[in-house]
Amino acid sequence: MDIYITRHGQTEWNVAYRMQGLNNSPLTEEGVNGAINLGKELNGMTPRFSMCFVSPLKRAIDTTELALSQVDYEIPVTVETLLREMDLGAFEGMNKQDASYVYPEAYEAFVHDPDNYEPVDGGESFADVIERARQMLDKLHELKKEGESGPVLLVSHMIMVEALLFASGTTDAKNLRETGPIKQTTLYKLTV
């Protein structure tokens, strides 16, 4: 089973370098165009996608709807809570500069040392997100065992895409945050 993972389109908070987590902001014009272009790319791929799983957060759902509006066949969509973004606790809504000033040690670990990051005022650890990623991959593995073999699309968020790549064995945990930026509306391929 081929799994294609993508990050939602650019949002207003992405442009402002604000940390969204479970919060949300609207797609920008670039985000809308990115989602439409993603859909055109999906439409030209073979074999056809058999299903799509999307995070319950609005920016991911909006990206999915825009992308799939460009596909000339129906792809069943399931909203999947396992694909939501990392709960960032106190970081949510803060811009990166303020987060690094108010919580310097936690922010440094968040960016450069995920093994030692401890959530601030609630939120999830990277281990929590990686566990959700493993659960998602297990769910897909079960679908494969049940006979599903067509490509699957996952629409999610930056840290969850990093976690899925890690959970699939394609990167090292200590380097989880150093995979380079996960580009929006870009496809990353895994094979189960």
pLDDT digits (tens, 9 = 90+) for 82-123: 999 999 999 999 999 999 999 999 999 999 899 899 999 889
Cα(108)–Cα(57) distance, rounded to whole angstroms? Answer: 26
**Tens of pLDDT, residues 12-36:** 999 999 999 999 999 999 999 999 9
Here the tokens at position 176 are 């989880």
Give the pLDDT of residue 170. 59
Catalytic residue among 8, 92, 124, 162: 8
Q: What are phi and psi of 174, to 5 degrees?
A: -65, -20
Which structural domain range is residue 23 located in? 2-191
Tell me which residue of 75, 42, 47, 54 sits closest to 7, measured CA to CA: 54
Based on the residue annotation, tell me whether 142 is a catalytic residue of this protein. no
Structurally, how many domains does the chain consist of? 1
Based on the residue annotation, tell me whether 8 is a catalytic residue of this protein. yes
DSSP SS3 for 25: coil
Question: Is the separation of the CB atoms in 139 and 82 below 8 Å?
Answer: yes
Task: Give the mean model confidence (pLDDT) for residues 36-47.
Answer: 96
Catalytic residue among 80, 85, 92, 162: 85
Here the tokens at position 51 are 């299903």
pLDDT tier at 145, thresholds 50, 70, 90: confident
For residue 117, the domain's CATH number is 3.40.50.1240
What residue type is assigned to position 151 of the chain? P
